[in-house]
Structure 1
Amino acid sequence: MKFEIMRDRLLDGLSDVMKAISQKVAIPILTGIKIEVNDTGITMTGSDSDITICTFIPAEEDGEQIIRIVEKGSIVLQARVFSEIVRKLPTNDVTIEVANGLQTKIQSGKSDFHLIGLDAEDYPVLPVVKDEYSFSLPSDLMKSIIRETVFAVSQQETRPVLTGVHWEANERGLSCVATDSHRLARRLTMPEEMPAVPFSVVIPGKSLQELNKILPENTEPVEIVIADQQVLFKTRNVLFYSRLLEGNYPDTSRLIPIEYKTTVIVNGRLLLQAIDRASLLAREERNNIVRFSADEGKVIEISSNSPEVGKVEELVEAIGVTGEDLKLSFSAKYMMDALKAIDGQDVSIQFAGAMRPFILKSVEDDSILQLILPVRTY
């Protein structure tokens, strides 16, 4: 195997693949990156057995030669060492050659590195994903869906299914829900081409966070293929495989109240900033609790009290307050995460009572719903 490549293009591909590499793997070869060279270009693969990322660098793109392929072949190189070497090479021209079995030479300018590779035949085979359920979403919409839901997954492994986001498709569209049982984030969307058959899967939150780092900030389509134990996300030059979580996701629709006693409409950005300030004093407490009170007077009071540090009170002008007077407490972090997901728009907050879950939605668009459980302090 021998090829010449531009260092910056090799680094771009490596940075994607490295997101799947972990030093804590049961199969030692998975600490390496598999490199395969054929006439069309180079495929690099990294995996931790939960996530697998393949990135393809074409030999030629838009009439420009990116790789000069001298000899086809494949090798597995230690991921951490190989990526550090490539990052620190002195010039943009890199030659990689495998000779005498697994001896790998990386040459750039006056630098010569010699690495001992592993046999690519020993690298686990990629999962076979049949196109059972396949549809596509624009990349920027995919990134929004992840940003608006993944923060609400559980960090506790006691109920593994809650560490993922529940994706469910039926004739009403695609619903993506995350909950840690103290809060819930839901995003609804209607893909242009819905999958022919309804499906219900739970995608690990960690996988979606890594996928979000790879997806481009444009409207390029991302094809989503859901199979038995795997989901595959395909972009132009990247394949991202993730295992699916096993177990039944709880029916979260029953958590969302149907009737409300108080509705507050307020500018999301102003409320976020006020809660952020109030949380400065609340951070000393274990739960970072902020108090919220609203009455007919169109003014919301945000306050926090920490016996050792001090207290803060701030008034926020509401656009509208209807229904009963209200006092409750909530986690400042949960509320700020929810407001960030709704992203600075005017927000409608609907309360079903002081100790019942309350919901936040954008006034203009109800495709994003955030639900938070209050904390008992009053």
Structure 2
Amino acid sequence: MKFEVMRDRLLEALNNVMKAVSSKTTVQILTGIKIEAKQEGIYLTGSDADITIQTFIPVEEDGEQIVQLTQTGSIVLQARFFNEIVRKLPTNDVMIEVKNNFQTDIRSGKSEFHLIGQDANDYPLLPQMEEDQSFTIPAELVKSIIRETVFAVSTSESRPVLTGVNWQIKDGELMCVATDSHRLARRSTKLENGPSEAYNAVIPGKSLNELNKILEDNSDPVEIVLTSQQILFKAGNVLFYSRLLEGNYPDTSRLIPSEHKTLVVVNGRALHQAIDRASLLAREDRNNVVRFTTQGQSAVEVSSNSPEIGKVEEQVLAEQIEGEELVISFSAKYMMDALKAIEGHDVQIQFTGVMRPFILKSAHDDAILQLILPVRTY
């Protein structure tokens, strides 16, 4: 194998595949990156068995030569070292050549590295995907869905299925739900070209976080291919595979109250900032709890009290308050996460009682719903 490639394009591809490489893997070859030189371009693959990412560098793009291929072939190189070497090479021209016994030369300017590679035939194959169940959505929308749900997944391995986000497709609608049993985040979206069959899968939160980073500057629509054990996201020259979590996701629709006793409409950004300030004194406390009190029909009070440090009270004007008066306590972090997901618009909060879950949604649409369990403070 022998080819020359532009360093900045190689680095960009490496940045993506490195997100799937774990130093903790017990499978030695997975600490490496598989490089394949083919007539059409260079393929790089990284995997930790749960996530597999493949990127492609074409020989030519928009009339510009990116790769000069002398000989096709493949090799697996130690990911950490290869990534560091490419990052620090002196010029934008990189020559990679594999000789006998997987000896690999990397040359750039007057700099020359010799790495010992591994046989690419020992590297696991990409998951086989039947493409009968697929649909396309804009990259921006995928990023929004991840941002509005993934923070609510559980970090505890005691119920592995809750460490993922449940994606359900039914009747042309995609419903994404995450919960750690103290809070819940739900995002629904209509699919214009969704699959005809219903689909239900749980995608690991870790996979979605990594995908979100890769979609950073990628404005191409994302094609999503579904199977019973894997999901594949295709974005531009990147393929992102993730295994799915096993087990049945709990039916969360029963948790969402259908009626309320108190309704508050308030500016989300103003409330977020007030809770952030109130939590300054609550942080010492293990639960980081703040108190929320309705005041007549025009304001709410956000307060927190720490016996050793002091207390804080702040009034936030409300657009609308109706129903019963209310004093309720909740985790400042959970509330700020939920408000951040709704993104600073006017927020409608529906309460059904002091110790009952309450829901937040945008005052303008129902696409995003957040649910939080209150905290008993007496």
Shorter-normalised TM range = over 0.9
The alignment partner of 1:131 has SS state of coil
- Whole-angstrom distance in 2 between the partners of 1:24 and 1:179: 27
| Counterpart position of 2:270 | 270
Cα deviations by residue, 1:11-30 (Å, 9 ceiling, x for unpaired): 00000000000011121000
- Whole-angstrom distance in 1 between the partners of 2:252 and 2:180: 11
Q: After the TM superposition, which of the residue ranges 197-206 and 166-175 deviates more from structure 2?
A: 166-175
| Counterpart position of 1:234 | 234
TM alignment of 1:188-337, pairs within 5 A: 188-217=188-217, 219-337=219-337
TM alignment of 1:178-193, pairs within 5 A: 178-193=178-193
- Whole-angstrom distance in 2 between the partners of 1:193 and 1:109: 50
- Whole-angstrom distance in 1 between the partners of 2:172 and 2:123: 42
2:142 equivalent to 1:142: yes
- Whole-angstrom distance in 1 between the partners of 2:94 and 2:356: 61
How much does 1:317 deviate?
A: 0.5
| Counterpart position of 1:120 | 120
- Whole-angstrom distance in 2 between the partners of 1:68 and 1:217: 26
The one-letter code sitting in structure 1 at the alignment partner of 2:279 is: S
Please say if residues 357 and 373 of structure 1, whose CA atoms lie closer than 8 Å, have aligned partners that are also in contact: yes
Cα deviations by residue, 1:271-293 (Å, 9 ceiling, x for unpaired): 00000000000000111000000
The total of aligned residue pairs comes to: 378
Q: Structure 1: state its 5+ residue gaps.
A: none
Cα deviations by residue, 1:283-319 (Å, 9 ceiling, x for unpaired): 0011100000013231100000111111100000111
What's the % identity of the aligned pairs?
69
Q: After the TM superposition, which of the residue ranges 124-133 and 203-212 deviates more from structure 2?
A: 124-133
| Counterpart position of 1:67 | 67
- Whole-angstrom distance in 2 between the partners of 1:241 and 1:297: 51
Please say if residues 172 and 192 of structure 2, whose CA atoms lie closer than 8 Å, have aligned partners that are also in contact: no
Q: After the TM superposition, which of the residue ranges 29-38 and 163-172 deviates more from structure 2?
A: 163-172
How much does 1:218 deviate?
A: 5.6
The one-letter code sitting in structure 1 at the alignment partner of 2:320 is: G
2:110 equivalent to 1:110: yes
Distance 1:155 1:40, change over 3 A: same
Cα deviations by residue, 1:228-263 (Å, 9 ceiling, x for unpaired): 211111112000000000000000000000110000
Q: Structure 2: state its 5+ residue gaps.
A: none
TM-score (normalizing by structure 1): 0.99
- Whole-angstrom distance in 2 between the partners of 1:265 and 1:172: 31
The one-letter code sitting in structure 2 at the alignment partner of 1:323 is: G
- Whole-angstrom distance in 2 between the partners of 1:296 and 1:135: 49
- Whole-angstrom distance in 1 between the partners of 2:346 and 2:21: 41
CA RMSD between the two structures = 0.9
The one-letter code sitting in structure 1 at the alignment partner of 2:25 is: V
TM alignment of 1:132-171, pairs within 5 A: 132-171=132-171
| Counterpart position of 1:83 | 83
Cα deviations by residue, 1:169-205 (Å, 9 ceiling, x for unpaired): 0015110000000000000001110111001000000
- Whole-angstrom distance in 2 between the partners of 1:107 and 1:217: 29
The alignment partner of 2:101 has SS state of coil
The one-letter code sitting in structure 2 at the alignment partner of 1:341 is: A
